[in-house]
Amino acid sequence: MQDFEQQPARYLVTVEELLIAERMTQAAETLRESTPRVQRTGFDNWNGGTEQWTVFLAVDTAAYALLGVAKANVEEQITQRLKAVLEPYTQDWFSAKIVPRIAAAGAVAAPNTRIRRQTRQNIIDGLTIDSVSWSGSLDDVDFLARIYDLQALPSYDGRYEDASGDIYQHRVNNFDWDDGWVFDDARFALRSGPDEQFLRFLCEIVHPVVRPDKDEAIKLAAQFNDQLRQDGWELVEVERIAGRPRFVARRPGLAGDRSASRARTVADALDAGWMQKEIERLELAVESDPALAIGTAKDLVETCCKSILTRQSIDFSRKSTLPELTKLLTKELKLVPEGISDEAKGAETIRLLLRNLTTITQYLSEIRSLYGTGHGRDGKHRGLEPRHARLAVGAAVAFIDFVSETYHQRISNARVL
């Protein structure tokens, strides 16, 4: 069948729709994520001759491994629906075979960055064991509408045009779908779909609108994190809404956790609430928006300088540049001390190190002008990568950490005197 061999996707879409309609979720998801290749694999002389074709469905190696013993059953489910679709057009025989996708030439193995099926299952099992309503204070339609365009998703019930209608009918009017129906619904692919979609779903479960009980939300987020951290993810609080935490997903360690943690300590010590906001913005932006992270790193240093100068009753202009603020702060705190003995081992090295530390602010201003936020770009502009943003963040935190500690040491010494 030449048309199917050249354009298998036309027919496989219908196969997927049949699998979805019959609630064969795993088979539908496997087919959707695969790359098909049709190959003639045999010929039978019976009844005038019948060609035999195999549809090889290449999937990622991780997905292939996770199928395990279920692979044969999934192949059979796809094969039967494939025969039903093609039967009106050919007498040839067709079968589906799932195979691992072969990497491109020169590729190297990458570390696992996906949330495993087992991790997702553990989280779903935990919700079931504790009888947690995933939609919380909302009905299922209102909850899912916060994440998905339900009007764009198909209905399983012929009486309704879209997913919104049939979900409302079976979960609000009739209530004849079980509470965990969403986890096995191929339209939402929560068991094996994109990580971002699954993580967004978890974040909505603990959102203040969905779960107004702060303690319950924090407890659930902690339980999710027990599982997610095994795959390199966690839910973190980014802000408060009406005194309740809102969470987002991120990768621990990839956003400069140690630097951000140290920066929070500085902000707490200076009682600088605005610094805390900048740190939150910086943490989230390092990986997803390096330009914003670089600009925020510069703003963080500027806020730190102004906070200390204000505490020391040092006047400065609202239009002062970051280097000008740094110069004032350096003079006030005596960051480059003149009392280091020339006889002391490494005295000159210590002086140079301290002087170079103060130049960090100048470099941050320059890199922010070149690559950070706050300036228009031409169409050919190319920004920096997360590793460059982490460098800028690390430099900024090294500076604010040092000047903050110096400031508090000066205050402590003055009290003693």
* Residue 112 pLDDT class (50, 70, 90 cuts): very low
Distance CA 155, CA 275 (A): 48
DSSP of 158-221, one letter per residue?
TT-SSHHHHHHIIIIIS--S-TTGGGG-TTT-TTTS-HHHHHHHHHHHTSTTT---HHHHHHHH
**Angle formed by the axes of helices 386-416 and 290-311, to 10°?**
10
In the predicted structure, residue 239 carries a pLDDT above the cut 70: yes
Q: State mean pLDDT over 339-350.
A: 56
DSSP of 392-410, one letter per residue?
HHHHHHHHHHHHHHHHHHH
Exposure string (b/e) for 8-31, b if CB count within 10 Å is 16 or more?
A: beebbeebbebbbeeebbbbbbbb
* Residue 146 pLDDT class (50, 70, 90 cuts): very high
- Strand partners for 240: 245
What phi and psi values does residue 24 have, to the nearest 5 degrees? -90, 75
User: How high is the pLDDT of residue 374?
Assistant: 47
Distance CA 258, CA 279 (A): 12
Distance CA 75, CA 381 (A): 48
What phi and psi values does residue 373 have, to the nearest 5 degrees? -80, 165
In the predicted structure, residue 342 carries a pLDDT above the cut 60: no
CA dihedral sign, ordered 174, 179, 184, 190: positive
In the predicted structure, residue 373 carries a pLDDT above the cut 70: no
pLDDT tens, 266-325? 666 666 566 666 676 666 677 667 777 777 888 888 888 888 898 888 998 888 888 788
User: How high is the pLDDT of residue 362?
Assistant: 66
* Residue 399 pLDDT class (50, 70, 90 cuts): confident
In the predicted structure, residue 238 carries a pLDDT above the cut 60: yes
User: How high is the pLDDT of residue 221?
Assistant: 93
User: How high is the pLDDT of residue 324?
Assistant: 85
Burial of 109 (0-12, 13-18, 19+ CB in 10 A): exposed
* Residue 330 pLDDT class (50, 70, 90 cuts): confident
Q: List all residues 6 or more positions away from 201 whose beta carbon is below 8 Å from its beta carbon.
A: 134, 147, 188, 190
User: How high is the pLDDT of residue 125?
Assistant: 95
pTM to 2 decimal places: 0.45
In the predicted structure, residue 50 carries a pLDDT above the cut 60: yes
* Three-class DSSP category at 155: coil
Q: State mean pLDDT over 192-212.
A: 92
In the predicted structure, residue 253 carries a pLDDT above the cut 70: no
Number of continuous H segments (helices) and E segments (strands) in the chain: 16, 5
Reference 123, options 288, 283, 249, 252; nearest CA is 249
pLDDT tens, 88-106? 888 888 899 999 988 654 4
Distance CA 160, CA 81 (A): 24
Residue predicted with more confidence, 364 or 135: 135
Window from 50-59, 366-375, 390-399 with minimum mean pLDDT:
366-375
What do you get for the CA distance between the two ends of the chain, in Å? Answer: 94
